[in-house]
Chains A and B, each alone.
Chain A
Amino acid sequence: MPKPFAVTMCRDFEAESENWLAGRRSPNFAEHLASCARCRHLMADWMSLRIAARELGLDQPEPSASVWQMLDAQLRKEGIISSQSPPVFPPQRWGGTLPQFVWRPIFTAAYAAVLLVAGVLISSEIRHSSHLFSSQGTQVATVIEDSQVPSGETEAFQSWSEPDPEITASLRQNLNVIDNDISLCKKSVRDEPQNELARDYLNDAYQQKAELLATMVERGVSLQ
């Protein structure tokens, strides 16, 4: 004949098992588990379930970047995010799924390449000008008369050689802004080397600088 308290304990399994799993283990319930195979098996299964569930909970996957991008777009559309606020996540670009360690050398190389091209163009321009000055009178045929050049090309040439002062000022101002961005991002990366967002901003800023330098070279704007 089962002990009266054991019967009570089977009925109380729900409450007692919860306490047991929470670490509040009563001696009465421990005694009951030792004597009742049904509850012991059930308790063992509860614990197995709890362990597996906790393991499942430790795995917290991340939603894809598109979730925020769509959310951000919707919030702007509804006017919840102020339209003046710049997008805080860098815009999705080609190869956006490439890991950071791939992007860093690409941007560095692109930046170096732009600087190199700018240097070559500037030095060739200087050489070309000095060559024209030194050969004046002896190689007149190499100097093209304005009348021989179609008017559109002349304008284009003039606009290349004499950049609009407003554009020049704007480009230089942008360069200063980006340089400031880079300094801030570098500081953030130094302070928090694990901060992916700061690294992403830095990469983005480098990319913008490379693009801007390319534009400046294209328009004949000097860095100073």
Chain B
Amino acid sequence: MARLTREEPKKPAELTEADALRLAQQGDAAAFERIYELHRRRVYSLCLRMVSNTTEAEDLTQEAFLQLFRKIGTFRGESAFSTWLHRLAVNVVLMRLRKKTLPATSLDETADADDSGEGPRRDFGAADLRLTGAVDRMNLQRAIETLPQGYRAVFVLHDVQGYEHNEIADIMGCSVGNSKSQLHKARMRLRELLHERERDRAREKRRAEADADEEPIDTDA
């Protein structure tokens, strides 16, 4: 009958983030739930965009919140709480990706063909992605999956989740300039990938049309 004598239900929805943080530091269950409730979608979306697998994204979300709650007593409010949480989440994701795919791409990766400082160079004459219909959500998600980790993280944080470069610098532990540079490279790589897919699709279409043309006519009919 233990559950029949439960205390008056707490209402996490009534707690502000500041109240929830204060209470969570005292081990209050409703406060933890409130914090989870406030940030779960954003953290899960970030994980999902980074790993493209719902089970793994849930696992990473759980891990990120677990690390957060373990360390919540040390949060002193020097930075925004959400930035702190997202820094943790990004680190959890990057750690996982590093374990999975070695060698990893450093956040400070510079050995890139686009890094010569000469401005835009590739696919200059190609048709706009929008006009070819290459940039739909599915195509973009697939292309994001193939980006190196550092590019992927900055692109997801900036262009997908809407963070500013100074926030990303804080989350990723890099400079604002580095964040901008990573984003630029990420976009260049994405553009390249999307154009490549567009070309592949066009090639396949032409091949299919050619095969159809070469099909022998059924003389029995």
Contacts and interface: CB of A to CB of B under 8 A. Distances in A.
Contacts of A15: 180
Size band of the interface chain A makes with B: 35 or more
Interface in A1-42: 10-15, 17-18, 37-39, 41-42
Contacts of B12: 88, 197
Interface string B154-176: 01000111100000000000000
A155 interface: no
A75 B1 CA distance: 24
A68 to B, nearest CB: 6
Contact of B48 (A46, A61, A64): A61
B66 interface: yes
Most chain A CB within 10 A, of B4, B48, B127, is at B4
Interface in B1-23: 1, 3-13
Nearest to A185: B9
Contacts of B66: 71, 74-75
A57 interface: yes
Given A57-B162, A71-B62, A81 B48 contact: no
B130 A70 contact: no
A88 B30 contact: yes
B191 A49 contact: yes
A42 B58 contact: no
Interface stretch (A113-121, A133-141, A143-151, A173-181): A173-181
Given A44-B130, A71-B65, A80-B27, A63 B119 contact: no
Contacts of B117: 11
Contacts of A181: 8-9
Given A80-B70, A88-B30, A42 B120 contact: yes
B187 A88 contact: no
A169 to B, nearest CB: 12
Contact of A184 (B8, B13, B48): B8
A11 B162 contact: no
A172 B15 CA distance: 32
Contacts of B211: none
Given A54-B159, A61-B48, A197 B13 contact: yes
A38 B69 contact: no
B149 interface: no
Interface stretch (B37-45, B74-82, B93-101): B37-45
Interface in B101-117: 117
A45 B191 contact: yes
B5 A177 contact: yes
A13 B135 CA distance: 21
Centre residue among B41, B57, B130 by max chain A CB count within 10 A: B130
Contacts of B30: 85, 88
Given A14-B180, A53-B155, A67-B58, A85 B49 contact: no
Contacts of B120: 10, 13, 38-39, 42
A52 B135 contact: yes
B6 A86 contact: yes
A208 B4 CA distance: 7
Given A44-B130, A56-B140, A198-B11, A68 B33 contact: yes
Which 4 A-B pairs rank lowest in CB-CB distance, beginning with the nearest?
Answer: A85-B29, A38-B124, A53-B159, A48-B130
10 contacts: A38-B125, A45-B128, A45-B191, A52-B135, A53-B160, A75-B32, A78-B70, A86-B9, A88-B9, A181-B9
Interface of A: 10-15, 17-18, 37-39, 41-42, 44-57, 59-64, 66-68, 70-72, 74-75, 78, 80-82, 85-89, 91, 170, 173-174, 177-178, 180-181, 184-185, 188, 192, 195, 197-198, 201, 208, 211-212
